[in-house]
Amino acid sequence: MNSPYSQLDVRGKLKHFLTIDGLSRELLTDILDQADGFLSVAQQAVKKVPLCRGKVIANLFFENSTRTRTTFELAAKRLSADVLNLNISTSATAKGETLLDTLRNLEAMQVDLFVVRHATSGAAHFIAAHAAPHVSVINAGDGSHAHPTQAMLDMFTIRRHKPDFTQLRVAIVGDILHSRVARSQMLALKALGVPEIHVIAPRTLMPARVEEAFGVRVFHDLREGVRDADVVIMLRIQRERMNSALLPSAHEYFYLFGLTEKRLAGARPDAIVMHPGPINRGVEMDSQVADGSRSVILEQVSNGIAVRMAIMSMCLGTQNLRGQQQEAIAHGE
C-alpha cells in the first residue's frame, strides 16, 4: 500500500502534487505535454472545457498570493469545476479551529481537491497525509520548502522557447537560501536533463552544500554566473531580507546582483529572462530588462493557467479523458 505521503496512486498515476522531488522525467514531461493541450483554451470564445465538471476544488491560502491564487482559480473554472475560496482571515481557523477540523468540515462538503498555500514547510504534506482517500492535494507553496507548480510553469515556458533541455545552461539568481521556487526549479531542471545549472547569490543567501544537494554550480559574481546562459531566472528578494543583516541594502543588492542590459549581454544572444513575480524593479532587475524583448515574465503568468489545468486534471484522474479533452477544445466547449 502507498505511503500517505506518496504523490502517486496504486496505478502509478498522479494523486497529489506536493513536490518535484522523486518524480520521474516521464511524469514531468507528461505534465508539460498535457499543458500544451490546454493553451488554446484561452483563445476560445468560451474559455472552458468540461473535464472537471461536477468536481469541487477548494483554494486554501493561509498565505497571501494574488497571482498564484487567481491562476489556480481560473484554471479550475476553465476545467468547469466548482471553486471554493476560503478566506482564512475570517475563517474558523482564525477563530481557533484546528487545521484538521477545517479539513474535515470541507471534506464533509464533498471537496475533491485542495490547493494549499501555507507559510509552514510541510503543511501540504500534512494535509495530504490526513485527507480522505478520495481527496487530492496540490502544494501552492509551503514555507521555504517547495513551489512545484511554479517550477512546472517555468519549465513549460522554457520548453516553449528552448525545446531541448539537455542542451541548456540555466542561471538562477537571488535568494537561493530561502526560495521554495529555486528548490523546485533545481529539482525540475535536473529531472528534465539540464546539464548545467548555475545558482548566483550573495554568500549570506546561499545554502550550505547546495552543490552536492542539487548538482549545481555556485557563483557569487553575477556576470560570471550568467555568462553564456540560455535562461536567466531572477528570484524575488523578500522585503524583510533587505532590512536584516543578510543584505546591506536594496541599493547595494541591485549594484551587485541586479540584472541590467549590460550584465545580460554576457548571456547568449537568444537568452530568455524569467521571474516568478511580483518584480521589485530596481532591486532584482531594471525596467529595461523586465519589459525588454527577452523577457517572458508575462508569458509565465499565462502559461501558469494551462500548467495548473494540466496538474489539476491529472490529480483528479481526468487526464485519461485525453480524447474528450481534445475534442472539447477543438469545438470550444
For residues 75 and 38, give the distance between their C-alpha atoms in angstroms, rounded to a whole number. 10
47 annotated ligand binder: no
203 annotated ligand binder: no
Select from 316, 5, 23 the least CA-distant residue to 152. 23
The dihedral over CA atoms of 310, 83, 116, 3, expressed in degrees to the nearest 10, equals -70
Q: How many CB atoms lie within 10 A of CB 269?
A: 6
130 annotated ligand binder: no
117 annotated ligand binder: yes
Whether 231 and 171 have beta carbons less than 8 Å apart is answered as: yes
Whether 166 and 172 have beta carbons less than 8 Å apart is answered as: no
77 annotated ligand binder: no
For residues 93 and 100, give the distance between their C-alpha atoms in angstroms, rounded to a whole number. 10
For residues 219 and 291, give the distance between their C-alpha atoms in angstroms, rounded to a whole number. 26
236 annotated ligand binder: yes
For residues 75 and 308, give the distance between their C-alpha atoms in angstroms, rounded to a whole number. 6
Half-sphere exposure of 205 (CA within 13 A, CB side): 30
195 annotated ligand binder: no
Q: Phi and psi dihedrals of 21, rounded to 5?
A: -55, 125
For residues 81 and 142, give the distance between their C-alpha atoms in angstroms, rounded to a whole number. 24
69 annotated ligand binder: no
For residues 86 and 117, give the distance between their C-alpha atoms in angstroms, rounded to a whole number. 11
150 annotated ligand binder: yes
11 annotated ligand binder: no
Grid cell digits, residue 282: 530596481
Direct distance between the N- and C-terminal alpha carbons of the chain, in angstroms, rounded to an integer? 39
What residues form the annotated binding site?
67-68, 95, 117, 147, 150, 180, 236, 277-278
As annotated, the binding site for carbamoyl phosphate includes 67-68, 117, 147, 150, 277-278
Residues marked as binding for L-aspartate?
A: 95, 180, 236
